[in-house]
Structure 1
Amino acid sequence: MLRINLAILSLALPAAVAAQPAMMIEPARPAVAMTGYLADRSPLTLVRLLPPPPLPGSSEDSADRYLYRLSKRGIGGPDWRKAQGQLGIGSPDYQKAVACALGAAVAAPATANTMKLLQRAGADLARAVTAAKEYHKRARPFTTDRGKACDPASAVDGGKALGFAYPSGHAAVGWLWGLILADARPERSAALLKFGKETGDLRIACRVHWASDVAGGRLMATALYQQIADTADYKADLAKASAELSLAPVPEGCPAG
């Protein structure tokens, strides 16, 4: 099962994603902010690559609203319950999903390089997603019709703790992790990209995001990945992560296939 020090990693991820149930291990020392791979670049370079959310009344907006209405049928269903178990990257269900997709049990300190790889990329992502959310200030879907969502935070103070909707931080994190870990273990690419996509899909099932929020999160993650993948630091960290993951044991309790 994936075990990452959330006290450190939470400093490098969008607040609405990181401010969720804590990871299962306690920090051995005070958390230190992680420097990203693109720390010398403004996050606005990524924000500018992201198209704006659909305009009210547009065909894209109509599609968002249609899919949101359709998601009502899934309340209480399998995807709804799965989304409830993965409200934060620190939840045991989410950790298990990562580990099963990766085909490797990750635990500190044996996989410190893998954790560093995700943390540094997460630092870059946090800056970009936060800037984009603050710029677009898009309301969550459940605020438009008081619709039910799987996240209890949606029912408290108008869901303010979840922040703005566009782009989806969960979708961005899941897709970025899928891309990066697929670099580290190419033989697990299909499973890891499936995991990354599902992270965003479950936010639609949870009814806390419009479909275009999720698409925007994946787009931002892809743009960020393309930039960090060319850096020397990323390539060096990736090589170390790949080496340690090749020695990690296979996680237990994963679904067949």
Structure 2
Amino acid sequence: MRQLIAALLLASAPAAAQTATQPAPAMAGPAAGTGYLTPRPAQSLLRLLPPPPEPGSPEARAEIRLYKDSRRGIGGPLWNKAVGQLSVTSPAFVQQLSCALGAKIGPQTTPATMAILRRAGADLGPAINAAKEYYKRPRPFTMDRGKACDPDSAVDGGKALGFSYPSGHAAVGWLWGLILADIRPERSAALLHFGKQTGDLRMACRVHYLSDVTHGRLFATGLYQAIADHAEYKADISRAAAELSLAPVPEGCPAS
């Protein structure tokens, strides 16, 4: 989870800021790590998050069955697509998001759009991490040492991935889909499909249970509603919409 938070905060950083040999240039607007909400209101939204299913409950048993059934997808198309989404800053993830948006996004070409995603990610990341630390739900692959698409799952019991509940990927995919749909409402269906699939692919990867994903989206929805009332957010949306109207159309997207 720490790696996911770091990726969220770097999502709009200039390329030079991501190298160890060059200092980051000054960024206009809020500093990196600054969200729309203060940490306390962002984390207070966690009261919207129900606990994961009790071990041994019918819901928990159903989730275990779904996880075990997912063995049939190992090495398949969804598994391979999930490999491309291990990081929310990976080229594959950004390409898929650009295709859903109908505009090629990046820190150099669409800085205002990327800044919105970074700020929302700065609100999301610490709150999700707090929930993970509170519930301490083990990852599904720790139950049976099952194969997962993330190579970190095979190292030291998957400790680098952190706890399972709720899913940070599911939350950020859904949150960014909602935000980008505000910027380009005509692309809402494609963006929300992308956001939902981001979470679904974590189940195909075999690193999350169903409730990790669905409740990650639930928290993201509550956070989005709080952010959407923020005056700075509304101003940022207008700037990003103007910016995206000039952005190039991404290449290599599947036919819709």
Instruction: State whether TM-score is above 0.5.
Output: yes
- Report the counterpart of residue 50 of structure 1 in structure 2: 49
Give aligned-pair identity as a percent. Answer: 65
Are the counterparts in 2 of residues 103 and 188 from structure 1 also a CA contact under 8 Å? yes
Letter in 2 for 1:168: S
Match of 2:231 in 1: 232
Instruction: Letter of the 1:191 partner, please give it.
Output: A
- Match runs of 1:116-131 below 5 Å: 116-131=115-130
**How far is 1:29 from its partner?**
4.1
> For residues 97 and 110 of structure 1, what CA distance do their matches in structure 2 show?
17
SS in 1 for 2:115: helix
Between 151-160 and 77-86, the greater mean CA deviation after superposition: 77-86
Does structure 1 conserve the Cα–Cα contact (< 8 Å) formed by 2:166 and 2:212? yes
Q: Does 1:15 align with 2:2?
A: yes
Structure 2 Cα separation of the partners of residues 195 and 77 of structure 1: 19
Q: Provide the residue aligned with 1:81 in structure 2.
A: 80
Query: Residue 37 of structure 1 aligns to a residue in which SS?
Result: coil
Q: Give CA deviations for 1:76-101 in whole Å, capped at 9, x if unaligned.
A: 11111111111111211111100000
Which residue number in structure 2 is paired with residue 25 of structure 1? 15
Is contact 1:176-1:221 (8 Å) kept? yes
Matched pairs, number: 243
What's 2:164 paired with? 165
1:110 partner SS: coil
Q: Distance in 1 between matches of 2:136 and 2:42?
A: 17
Unaligned 5+ segments in structure 2 are 26-30
1:25 maps to a residue whose letter is A
CA contact (8 A) 1:170 1:199 kept: yes
What is the deviation of 1:58?
1.1
Q: What is the aligned partner in structure 2 of residue 97 from structure 1? A: 96
Q: How does 1:216-255 map to 2 (within 5 A)?
A: 216-255=215-254
Instruction: Pick closer, same or farther for the CA change 1:16–1:166 going to 2, 3 Å.
Output: farther
- Structure 1 residues 58 and 16, CA gap change in structure 2 (3 angstroms): farther
The 2-side partners of 1:198 and 1:168 are apart by 13
Instruction: From the superposition, tell whether residues 44 and 107 of structure 1 become closer, same or farther in structure 2 (CA, over 3 Å).
Output: closer
**Runs of 5+ unmatched residues, structure 1:** 1-13
Give me the whole-angstrom Cα distance separating, in 2, the residues matched to 1:160 and 1:228: 31
Normalised by the length of structure 2, the TM-score is 0.90
C-alpha distance 49-250 of structure 1, shift in aligned 2 (>3 A): same
Instruction: Name the CA distance, whole Å, in 2 between partners of 1:107 and 1:80.
Output: 26
Q: Distance between the aligned counterparts of 2:39 and 2:90, measured in 1?
A: 32
Matched, 1:106 2:109: no
Alignment-derived partner of residue 28 in structure 2? none
